[in-house]
Amino acid sequence: MSKIDQLFAKLRTENRRALMPFVTAGDPDLATTAALLKELVSAGCHLCEVGIPYSDPIADGPVIQASYTRALNKKIKLAEILDCVRDVAPQVAAPLVSMVSYAIVYRHGLEQYVDDAQAAGLAGAIVPDLPLEEAAQLAAVCRQRDFSLIQLVTPTTPRDRAVQIAQNSSGFLYYVSVTGITGERRDLPPELRDNVTWLRQRTPLPICIGFGISTPEHVKLLAPVADGLIVGSALVRRIEQGATRPLKELLADVRAYAGMLLTALNDK
């Protein structure tokens, strides 16, 4: 079992859900990224996503796109990000996964990317722009190494295709809550819970919901049908707003925000 499999197996026996924050590697710098990851896990988060900056993201909204641009403007390299993860991973109890464009994986080499990511301490990769028709080769590489390949299902994905995507995924299935790009939203679609319930009956994989989740109310609404909830833009925005403050203050603000969501997640 991979580290992600172990995490969700443990949470299921305890009837608990995972809170899964997303941070952009290198925004505002890699030292802050490392401190944020350690602070989020220390606060009780169960898994952290590390965004690999990319110039042409296809699903990210303006907040995360801007964070990628800030990191890329500093000429951040994949090797530097992996070095950062290599330093952090032994210090945290939660799995770390990369959110990475398939273009980066392909250019680096499928086997080489997985080997380098795993050596750095990453437990898996979310590859949002990997089409189902091209997923088999990377899925096979990941299976051979017990490295989770997490793929996305959206509200507009045909149901038979959603089942096929689940069959090519491992670790967990990323269910996109809304049609469109990432970003904070006041309301989530009323059919979201029913769609996730339908998919749950057709895959043994944990299903984690992302896009638009930012408030305790969202967490309480979705926790009954999800295995995990992913928070990205709301957290990245807080990091941007706090980047000019002392690191201690930024970490305290991020910890308080994560704590608020964790309280909602554990509220029976």
Q: Give catalytic residues, as residue numbers.
A: 49, 60
| Whether 227 contacts 12, CB under 8 Å | yes
Tokens of 168: 């090519």
Backbone phi and psi for residue 185, each to the nearest 5 degrees, phi listed first: -140, 150
Please report, as a single letter, which amino acid is at residue 28: P
Which has the closest alpha carbon to 19: 196, 234, 252, 247? Answer: 234
Gap between the Cα atoms of 139 and 141, Å rounded: 5
Task: Indicate the angle between helix axes 192-200 and 159-167, nearest 10 degrees.
Answer: 50
Place of tokens 């999800």: 226
Q: What is the DSSP string of 96-137?
A: EEEE--HHHHHHH-HHHHHHHHHHHT--EEE-TT--GGG-HH
Percentage helix, strand, coil for the chain under 3-state DSSP, each rounded to 5 = 50, 15, 35
Taking residue 145's Cβ as centre, other Cβ atoms within 10 Å add up to 14
Cis geometry, peptide bond prior to residue 28 (ω within 30 degrees of 0): yes
How far is the first Cα of the chain from the last one, in angstroms, to the nearest whole number? 29
| Whether 150 contacts 102, CB under 8 Å | no
